A and B are shown apart, each in its own frame.
Chain A
Amino acid sequence: MNVIETENLSFVYGQGTPFEKTANDRLNIQIKEGEFVGIIGHTGSGKSTLVQMLNGLIKPTSGTIRLEGTDIWQSPKEIRKIRFKVGLVFQYPEYQLFEETVEKDIAYGPRNMGLSEGDIRERVISAARFSGLRSELLSKSPFDLSGGEKRRAAIAGVIAMDPDVLILDEPTAGLDPAGRDVLLAQISQYHKERKNTVLLVSHSMEDIAKTADRILVMNRGRAEMLEDTRTVFSRGEELEKMGLRVPQITKIMSGLQKRGFDVPSGILTVEQAAGVLAAYRGRSV
């Protein structure tokens, strides 16, 4: 079943002014329940506008978004309920922290939902666990945390709302390599355990290759492709025309293939490549 479905979804900035700019142009996207979808695209390709429309922060200029079959703008007064169902983690979310303690900050979303204190407490603890936040940090001020910890606390603040769809806009931007690997693993883990839908916007093809089942490719406000990860990354030349690229290991393997080595295409991770190459050596000896 499709959890999110868009129909001719468009958004135009500054309509009717000289600065008019189409950010999204007639998008028709279907996202299935429980999927992990990566969203890639050049800067200014309309990714951020799209994700903000998906949780009702901005209203489409035209077209509709259906969440579990119903139009999210059917009753504009109820739009907050949509935001609880579609959790959006912004870029650099650590700048939204404001409470006295990390615990209170994570509880902000659940409290806005009107849950009981007991439920809130429970959600805070499980959200902190999912985002890898050590429990002794919960009583600290968010402003005393390190950069990576702040990021986790902010992500936990959205996870605590237990959304059906979790959207993350470049969650690993500005983290060190170790930090980003751990955070990505945690997001994958969260996806596996809760079995809900995750949309991940990223500029890192490696991150996307590691996590996503399918990839949405955005280019100049249009949805160019929405297919499984292997298929998308096997179309390297098209991606490069849009200012994107494939993961380095995929490029190496397809280069080997072109030079006549008998290796399969669509290799996405270093581990897969190592396995394939080891097997190849075994065969050729």
Chain B
Amino acid sequence: MLKDVTLGQFLPGVSPIHRLDPRAKILFLIALIVFIFITSNYISLALVAAFIVALVFMTRIPVKMYLKSMKMILFIVLFTGIINLFYGRGEPLVKIGFLQITEAGINNAVFVAVRIAVLILASSMLTFTTSPTDLTDALERLLKPLTVFHIKVHEIAMMMTIALRFVPTLLEETDKIMSAQKARGADMESGNLIKRIKALIPVLIPLFVSAFRRAEELATAMECRCYQGGSGRTRMKRLHFGKADLYGLAACLLVLCGVIICNIFLPATVR
């Protein structure tokens, strides 16, 4: 049951997208998000969406996985879409009481829904194709300039790595403790809300105890290996900005040009 969480899951592979430099991937993701929000008509929206869908197919990860991660936010997409439906100005097409649907409203709804959907698609593409360690490494590198403001970038990245590293471990542990308490007759499936929350206490307490124990053990192990934070630390795996990343950059620039041209030469459907 707990293993069905797909958001933020890494799926190893050898596709061109997997092999991109993680720093480039983060920057491309940011770029794509910007693109999707500067589009102002259907043609440019379709262009960006098509680009992202093409990338999705390039990852060679089953489309089923993407759909699974979309399922979790389907509600948000529908909710914001429907709210936007009633927020357009102009001549009402349909009137239901004080609510009115206008053409602008429909346009808004479609844009918002597609934007959020594509946003999730693009971000799950990043997490599906990039291992958590690569991701935090890349973040550390990208945020390095912030050290000027005395922000401990390395320490933050290290904390993120550790947190991500322990997600599966703690999930497995939760499963184990739940089984152990069920073996002692714990009933977690029936009763009202308060009863169910109470039934979780025998799971949560051992889980916290073991999380603290693990944290302490990890801290000791790190100290034993003379870990002392970021200064002067070298890396075994150095990130490398290569040819593939250049191609990616070129593709992104092309799409950007396309979006700008569409925006200039075609009438805007949303503002």
Contacts and interface: CB of A to CB of B under 8 A. Distances in A.
B184 interface: yes
A93 B209 CA distance: 14
Given A90-B179, A96-B177, A98-B201, A157 B184 contact: yes
Interface string B252-263: 000000000000
Contact of A80 (B176, B177, B179, B185): B185
A279 B230 CA distance: 71
Contacts of B187: 80, 112
Given A97-B206, A98-B206, A143-B209, A112 B179 contact: no
A52 interface: yes
Contacts of A98: 201-202, 205-206, 209
Residue among B177, B184, B202, B205 facing the most chain A CB atoms (10 A cut-off): B184
A55 B183 contact: yes
A90 B209 contact: no
A90 B180 contact: yes
B30 interface: no
Interface residues of A, number: 22
Contacts of A57: 179, 182-183
Interface stretch (A37-45, A65-73, A81-89, A179-187): A81-89
A12 B183 CA distance: 21
Nearest to B3: A14
B93 to A, nearest CB: 46
A108 interface: yes
A235 to B, nearest CB: 33
B186 interface: yes
Interface in A143-174: 143, 157-158, 161
A158 B210 CA distance: 21
B107 interface: no
A48 B28 CA distance: 46
Contacts of A113: 185
Contacts of B210: 95
B181 interface: yes
Interface in B200-225: 201-202, 205-206, 209-210
A95 B184 contact: no
A96 B180 contact: yes
Contact of B183 (A83, A95, A97, A143): A83
Contacts of A84: 185
A109 interface: yes
B186 A87 contact: no
Interface in B105-125: none
B201 to A, nearest CB: 7
Given A95-B210, A98-B202, A108-B202, A88 B183 contact: yes
Contacts of A88: 183
Contacts of B201: 98
Interface in A85-118: 87-88, 90, 93, 95-98, 108-109, 112-113
B79 to A, nearest CB: 32
Residue among A55, A95, A109, A158 facing the most chain B CB atoms (10 A cut-off): A95
Nearest to A163: B183
A80 B177 CA distance: 16
B197 to A, nearest CB: 15
A98 B206 CA distance: 6
A113 B176 CA distance: 21
Interface string B167-191: 0000000001101111111110000
Contacts of B186: 108, 112
Given A80-B187, A112-B187, A143-B209, A96 B181 contact: yes
A95 B177 contact: yes
Given A112-B184, A161-B184, A52 B206 contact: no
B180 A93 contact: yes
B206 A112 contact: no
Interface in A224-266: none
23 contacts: A80-B185, A80-B187, A83-B182, A83-B185, A84-B185, A87-B183, A88-B183, A90-B180, A90-B183, A95-B209, A96-B177, A96-B184, A96-B202, A97-B206, A98-B205, A98-B206, A108-B184, A108-B185, A108-B186, A108-B202, A112-B184, A112-B187, A158-B184
Interface of B: 176-177, 179-187, 201-202, 205-206, 209-210
Given A83-B185, A87-B183, 13 more contacts: A52-B179, A57-B183, A80-B187, A84-B185, A95-B176, A96-B202, A98-B202, A108-B185, A112-B186, A112-B187, A157-B184, A158-B183, A161-B184
